[in-house]
């Protein structure tokens, strides 16, 4: 596969997908217009055939890394994100790290991705999308790793990392941090994770522009926390999330929260509650988190809430002057 790349036109190649390669020994050639790199099931070995971490810097030494906007590593060993791993990848906009055996993330790992961008210029956007999934050896996601890309980051997905127990600031983290451009945080399928701390949620406060306010459903700031390790008889995970959702502003900073708890020790079925700021302000948090209660105060607008509980699926629709239950 690597040899075949040498015969490709260096003047026109913009994307390279390298898959199921049993041994990497040759760096990529100098591909001047290369903008996207996808690695899947690529293996790097030593002289004895033992698997090593993928040598991203060495493998891309001849490539103009500043031109790479999308980088994906899937089923390719990368046990640690060190501070120099993404050196010269200053143009990166999307990063996917899936099933890489990731164990450690240095808080300065994304420092090379920081760059000045032109406000309001969509063609000069910085790093915007991060996906970390299926890394069963990862136990801690240091939230302050996002500080260097805090001005441009838009979506964060942390999914199916079975031993992840903490999404939090590291001990020596900055006192303040803001992620003003993040519109979506998805944390799902992390079976050991019980909550997102309030100080992490407080960094999310995306505000719509005047134009975006005309499209409230499409531009809500969204947090999804489902299929994680928070049991339904433990309210700790719900408390910080519901407080964050209630703190939104219905117009310019509306917040959407999709929350679910897992089956608890008593065997109660999983439950889920979904809604915007208006709903969460009416939501009455139950003592045991085994039931969803809402105020019967009439809503001023139209919104929809989906709830699952041990009684089955219930769709709760709030319309002006009425509370309607469908079952």
Chunked into runs of 10 residues, the chain (327 residues) has average pLDDT values of 39 60 72 89 83 91 93 95 96 97 96 76 78 98 96 96 96 84 96 95 78 55 93 80 88 85 68 88 67 36 39 35 30
- Is 221 a domain residue? yes
Residue 86, pLDDT score: 97
Q: How many structural domains does the chain have? A: 1
- Is 68 a domain residue? no
- Is 49 a domain residue? no
Residue 31, pLDDT score: 80
Q: 101 — alpha (psi -120 to 50), left (phi > 0) or beta?
A: left
What token pair was written down for 321?
């002057």
Tell me which residue of 317, 259, 314, 311 sits closest to 289, measured CA to CA.
259
Distance, CA of 27 to CA of 56 (rounded, Å): 9
Neighbouring residues of 324: CB distance < 8 A, sequence distance ≥ 6: 316, 317, 318
- Is 42 a domain residue? no
Tell me which residue of 104, 128, 126 sits closest to 114, measured CA to CA.
126
- Is 69 a domain residue? no
Handedness of CA 44, 49, 51, 52 (dihedral sign): negative
- Is 35 a domain residue? no
φ, ψ of residue 180 to 5 degrees: the values are -70, -15
- Residue the block writes with tokens 């917040």: 255
Look up the domain containing 231 and give its range. 84-95+106-130+141-156+172-289
Distance, CA of 26 to CA of 28 (rounded, Å): 7
- Is 279 a domain residue? yes
Whole-model pTM: value is 0.81
Tell me which residue of 39, 38, 30, 37 sits closest to 11, measured CA to CA.
30
What token pair was written down for 132?
């970390």
What token pair was written down for 67?
């031109």
Residue 153, pLDDT score: 95
- Residue the block writes with tokens 């050639």: 29
Residue 162, pLDDT score: 96
- Is 215 a domain residue? yes
Which helix (H) or strand (E) segment holds residue 282: the answer is: helix 277-282
Residue 141, pLDDT score: 98
């Amino acid at each position: 596969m690597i040899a075949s790349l040498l015969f490709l036109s260096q003047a026109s190649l913009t994307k390279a997908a390298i898959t199921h390669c049993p041994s990497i020994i040759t760096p990529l050639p100098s591909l001047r217009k290369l903008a996207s790199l996808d690695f899947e099931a690529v293996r790097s070995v030593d002289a004895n055939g033992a698997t090593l971490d993928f040598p991203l810097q060495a493998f891309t030494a001849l490539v103009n890394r500043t031109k790479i906007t999308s980088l994906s590593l899937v089923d390719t060993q990368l046990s640690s994100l060190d501070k120099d791993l993404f050196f010269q990848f200053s143009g990166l906009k999307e990063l996917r790290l899936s099933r890489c055996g990731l164990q450690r993330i240095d808080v300065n790992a994304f420092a090379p991705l920081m760059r000045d961008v032109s406000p309001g210029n969509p063609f000069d956007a910085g790093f915007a999308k991060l996906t970390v999934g299926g890394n069963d050896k990862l136990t801690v996601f240091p939230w302050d790793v996002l500080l260097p890309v805090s001005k441009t980051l838009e979506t964060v997905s942390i999914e199916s990392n079975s031993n992840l127990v903490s999404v939090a600031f590291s001990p020596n983290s900055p006192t303040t941090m803001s992620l003003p451009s993040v519109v979506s945080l998805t944390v799902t399928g992390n079976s050991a994770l019980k909550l997102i701390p309030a100080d992490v949620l407080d960094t999310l406060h995306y505000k719509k522009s005047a134009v975006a306010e005309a499209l409230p459903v499409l531009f809500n700031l969204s947090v999804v926390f489902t299929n994680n390790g928070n049991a339904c008889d433990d309210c700790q995970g719900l408390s910080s999330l519901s407080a964050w959702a209630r703190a939104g502003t219905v117009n310019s900073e509306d917040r959407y929260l999709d929350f679910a708890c897992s089956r608890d020790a008593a065997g109660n079925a999983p439950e889920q509650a979904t809604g915007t700021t208006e709903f969460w302000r009416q939501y009455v948090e139950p003592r045991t988190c085994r039931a969803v209660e809402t105020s019967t105060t009439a809503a001023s607008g139209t919104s929809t809430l989906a709830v699952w509980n041990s009684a089955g699926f219930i769709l709760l629709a709030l319309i002006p002057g009425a509370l309607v239950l469908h079952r």
